[in-house]
Structure formats: structure tokens, C-alpha cells
């Protein structure tokens, strides 16, 4: 009986020891590095250097190299790189803990060593931004925490119909994003134009492709419907006919979102088409005209989401708008593989269309009637009144409600964070 018990105990200990060893060995090599800081003695009078003249650079670094080597040897660590940090008055050394030994235990031991100023584990950080060079300039990066939203949704399987001037479908930042392009301007062919390309970039520019910007909904597809044309003086015009044809086409192709970054006089034909879109469950996003009291047409139509551009403070927008979004100094794509900055409610509308696409990936059944509730997060308006209305959008809160398992944005004034890789 006793012998059996002894064997069982031994076996259990062996299993436990094996498991412990296994756990130690399972930690990847990168995690075994620690940072050990040594105090840099401040420079002072020394007879030999003084007589030689000039600041003795050896004081800053060599003094710590010797102690670092001694400490590494004392604790059985491998010395790696080092970097002086005069801002903190320390020299920072990377040391590696050998396999099979506890990193935490080493850190505790080193923390008690009088030669060491401080010691910590080597931490890993993830990018929260995008690998797009202009990402950090995007207002959506800062105001909407775009990179964090993209952790949970990119607008996949959502089709956005953009009724605008021509989009440069060959633009590197738009490659593969345009499902179909179609021209509705009589007597003309499809052509890449400024306004259309600028709006398209904000909507669906490829993310993490190493160039340009990241669109609000890089996972969505675009129907580039050219119902407007760019004149020599760069003004972009459309007419009731071209717009109506494009709207019909968008409805035929079952686009879930229609973006109309344009404004004009009230139009009965278009109104009827917009009402039809509402009934079909298509969300129509329209830009507000800031010079017109009710935002102009089609923004004044009750069945569309009228978007106004946030002002310079980023807190208010025009009174005729349902929602306010960034539209100032937005970096975006321009024809001919270029990028530039744009300002205007056209671009604020594009932000909202992109956001709706992000929402629809998570909740495909959401329709235009659900939008006011889905977009509102009880934000106080700047006049102090609190209502469950829209106004300035908080995309982090909006997406959080649709993705309860998501941790949410790391708010409290975080700007685009860069990865330390």
C-alpha cells in the first residue's frame, strides 16, 4: 500500500514537474528579454579629462557597460543591446533570461540589486492605427478611432452606391474596391474626376496597403455611378435625369447604402425615388448645404440622413443636419494616383455612409428607420440640451452597441497609436 502511494506521488510530481518545464519552455523567445536600467552618473570634474579639455564622452556610457556586464554575469543573463536615456539619467540594457528560468523571478531578484536603477519586462504593443502613411492625418483616425473600429468591422459584404462624378478606379488606394462603374451622363463616357474620386477614397480606400489613407469602410464594395460631370472650372454638376437614372440603377443592384454628396432645388422625381428607397430599406445619406437653412434638397427630405460638416472645434455642425461628421481637412484620393486634402459636407456625408456600412456588417437588418436610434448616443448638443438625438456621432459607442463582445475604443483622448515592433 505504502509503496503504491509512493509511486503514485512520484508519478504525480513527475507530471507536475514536466508541466512546469513545459510551461517555461512554451514562452516565445521574445518574452524572455528584460530591460535593466543603470543610473548614468552626471558628468563632473575629472583631472585627466579636464586637462585634456573637452567633455569626456566615455563617462556617459562606458561606466555603465562594466556594471551591466557584471550584473548580467551575476544573474546568468545574456547581455544584448543598450541605449542611453539621458532624459531619465539612465542607460537601458536589454538582457535575455535563459530558457527554463522564470523571467518574473529574475526581475524580482534584479529589483533588489543595489547596482540596478530599475528593471522591467519587455512588453509588446499592437498597432491600433493603420499601415497607411496618411492615416494619422485623417480626422476619422482621431475623432472616430477608425483603426479601433476596424478591429471589429470593415463593412464587409456591404454595397455602397456612390452617385457622383467619375471615380478613378485605377487609383492604387481604390484598386479592387469598385465592384462596378457606370456612366449616366448623356453623350459622355465614364471618366475619372475629382469629386467622385475624393468621396470614393473616404468611403472605401484600401487599408493597410502601405499607401495613402484608410477608408471608413475598406471592406465594403462600391458602385461608382457617374451621374455628375466636372466642368473646366472644376465645378461638378448633375441634373435630375442623370440622378434619377443612377438612383434607379442603385435600387436595381440592391445597394444597401446610397451616398449623395450633392445638393440642389427640390425635385419631385428624385423625391419619389428617395421615398421608394426608404420603403425598400435602403439608407440614403445626403450632404447638407450649409448655405441653405434646411440643408437644401435632398437633405431636407425626411427619409434621408442629412449630414453636416463639423466645425473647426469639432463640436457642432449646421442646424439643418441630422448628423454631424468630420469634413474638414480630410486627406483622400484624387485622380492620377494622387492624394490631397478636402473640406466640405460632401466629405462629411461620405464619413457617415462609411459608418453605416460598418454598422450593416454587424447588423445587416438595420434599415433607414432604425438609423436615428442606432446612431444616437445621448450626446449633449452644444447648447446644453440633452436629447436622445443624433448631432455629433460617437462611432465607438455606436459600434459597441452592435458588437457587445467588443471591448470598445480606448478613449480618453487617445490619438493614433504607433506600434513598437
Partner 1 sequence: MAARADFSGSATLASDYRLRGVSLSNEHASGQADLNFDGGGGWYAGAFFANVRLGAPPGPMIQWLPYAGVSRRLDTDTTVDLGVEYSGFTGGNDYGYFEAHGGITWKDLSARLFLSPDYFGSGAQTLYGQVDGSRPVNDFLRLFAHLGALQFLSGVPGDPNPTRHPIDFRAGLQARWSRVTAQLSWVTVSQVADAYPVGNYDGISHSSRSAWVFQLSVSN
Q: Least distance from C-beta 67 to partner 1, angstroms?
A: 6
Q: Least distance from C-beta 87 to partner 1, angstroms?
A: 5
Q: Least distance from C-beta 59 to partner 1, angstroms?
A: 8
Rounded Cα distance between 417 and 136, Å, is: 9
DSSP run (H or E) holding 260: strand 257-260
Q: Which residue stretches of 75-161 are H helix?
A: 103-112, 139-143, 146-149
240 close to 260: Cβ distance less than 8 angstroms: no
Q: How many residues bind partner 1 (CB under 8 A)?
A: 32
Quick check: 81 binds partner 1 (CB under 8 A)? no
CA angle, residues 239, 242, 247, in degrees to nearest 5:
115
Among 16-24, 61-69, 167-175, 350-358, the segment contacting partner 1 (CB under 8 A): 61-69
Rounded Cα distance between 71 and 63, Å, is: 13
Choice between 62 and 186, CB closer to partner 1: 62
Quick check: 275 binds partner 1 (CB under 8 A)? no
Quick check: 66 binds partner 1 (CB under 8 A)? yes
Choice between 53 and 265, CB closer to partner 1: 53
Choice between 50 and 157, CB closer to partner 1: 50
Torsion, CA 147, CA 151, CA 152, CA 154, rounded to 10:
60
Q: What distance lies between CA 297 and its chain's CA centroid?
A: 32
Q: Least distance from C-beta 364 to partner 1, angstroms?
A: 55
Q: In this structure, what C-alpha cell is assigned to residue 347?
A: 466629405
Choice between 68 and 399, CB closer to partner 1: 68
Q: How many CB atoms lie within 10 A of CB 311?
A: 15
Rounded Cα distance between 203 and 197, Å, is: 10
Residues 180-199 within binding reach of partner 1 (CB under 8 A): none
Choice between 58 and 254, CB closer to partner 1: 58
Give the x/- contact pattern for partner 1 in 27-56, rule: CB under 8 A.
-----------xx-xxxxxxxx-xxxxxx-
Rounded Cα distance between 324 and 109, Å, is: 55
178 close to 224: Cβ distance less than 8 angstroms: yes
Quick check: 58 binds partner 1 (CB under 8 A)? yes
Quick check: 93 binds partner 1 (CB under 8 A)? no
156 close to 149: Cβ distance less than 8 angstroms: no
Among 81-89, 146-154, 236-244, 378-386, the segment contacting partner 1 (CB under 8 A): 81-89
Angle at which helices 240-252 and 268-279 pack, to 10 degrees? 10
Choice between 28 and 53, CB closer to partner 1: 53
Residues 115-144 within binding reach of partner 1 (CB under 8 A): 115-118
Q: How many CB atoms lie within 10 A of CB 281?
A: 13
Taking CB under 8 A as the criterion, the residue among 86, 100, 210, 281 binding partner 1 is 86
**Given the rule CB under 8 A, which residues bind partner 1?**
38-39, 41-48, 50-55, 57-59, 62-63, 66-67, 86-87, 89, 113-118
Amino acid at each position: 500500500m505504502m509503496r503504491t502511494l509512493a509511486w503514485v506521488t512520484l508519478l504525480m510530481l513527475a507530471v507536475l514537474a514536466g508541466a512546469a518545464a513545459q510551461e517555461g519552455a512554451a514562452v516565445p523567445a521574445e518574452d524572455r528579454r528584460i530591460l535593466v536600467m543603470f543610473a548614468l552618473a552626471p558628468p563632473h570634474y575629472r583631472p585627466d579629462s579636464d586637462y585634456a579639455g573637452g567633455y569626456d564622452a566615455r563617462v556617459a556610457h562606458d561606466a555603465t557597460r562594466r556594471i551591466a556586464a557584471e550584473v548580467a554575469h551575476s544573474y546568468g543573463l545574456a547581455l544584448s543591446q543598450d541605449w542611453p536615456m539621458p532624459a531619465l539619467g539612465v542607460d537601458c540594457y536589454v538582457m535575455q533570461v535563459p530558457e527554463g528560468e522564470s523571467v518574473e523571478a529574475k526581475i524580482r531578484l534584479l529589483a533588489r540589486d543595489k547596482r540596478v536603477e530599475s528593471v522591467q519586462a519587455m512588453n509588446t504593443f499592437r498597432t491600433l492605427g493603420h499601415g497607411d502613411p496618411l492615416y494619422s492625418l485623417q480626422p476619422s483616425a482621431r475623432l472616430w478611432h477608425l483603426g479601433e473600429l476596424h478591429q471589429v468591422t470593415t463593412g464587409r459584404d456591404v454595397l455602397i452606391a456612390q452617385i457622383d462624378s467619375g471615380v478613378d478606379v485605377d487609383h492604387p488606394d481604390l484598386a479592387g474596391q469598385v465592384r462596378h462603374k457606370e456612366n449616366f451622363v448623356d453623350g459622355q463616357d465614364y471618366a475619372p474626376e475629382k469629386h467622385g474620386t475624393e468621396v470614393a477614397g473616404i468611403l472605401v480606400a484600401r487599408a493597410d496597403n502601405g499607401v495613402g489613407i484608410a477608408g471608413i469602410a475598406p471592406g465594403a464594395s462600391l458602385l461608382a455611378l457617374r451621374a455628375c460631370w466636372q466642368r473646366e472650372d472644376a465645378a461638378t454638376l448633375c441634373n435630375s435625369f442623370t440622378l434619377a437614372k443612377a438612383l434607379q440603377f442603385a435600387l436595381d443592384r440592391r445597394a444597401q447604402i446610397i451616398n449623395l454628396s450633392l445638393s440642389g432645388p427640390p425635385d419631385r422625381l428624385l423625391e419619389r425615388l428617395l421615398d421608394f428607397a426608404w420603403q425598400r430599406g435602403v439608407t440614403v445619406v445626403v450632404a447638407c448645404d450649409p448655405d441653405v437653412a434646411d440643408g437644401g434638397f435632398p437633405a431636407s427630405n425626411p427619409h434621408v440622413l442629412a449630414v453636416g460638416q463639423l466645425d473647426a472645434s469639432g463640436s457642432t455642425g449646421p442646424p439643418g443636419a441630422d448628423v454631424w461628421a468630420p469634413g474638414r481637412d480630410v486627406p483622400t484620393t484624387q485622380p492620377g494616383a494622387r492624394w490631397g486634402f478636402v473640406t466640405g459636407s460632401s466629405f462629411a456625408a461620405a464619413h457617415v455612409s462609411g459608418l453605416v456600412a460598418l454598422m450593416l456588417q454587424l447588423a445587416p437588418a438595420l434599415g433607414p428607420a432604425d438609423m436615428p436610434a442606432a446612431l444616437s448616443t445621448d450626446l449633449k448638443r452644444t447648447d446644453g440640451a440633452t436629447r436622445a438625438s443624433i448631432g455629433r456621432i460617437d462611432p465607438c459607442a455606436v459600434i459597441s452597441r452592435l458588437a457587445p463582445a467588443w471591448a470598445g475604443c480606448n478613449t480618453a483622448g487617445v490619438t493614433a497609436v504607433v506600434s513598437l515592433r
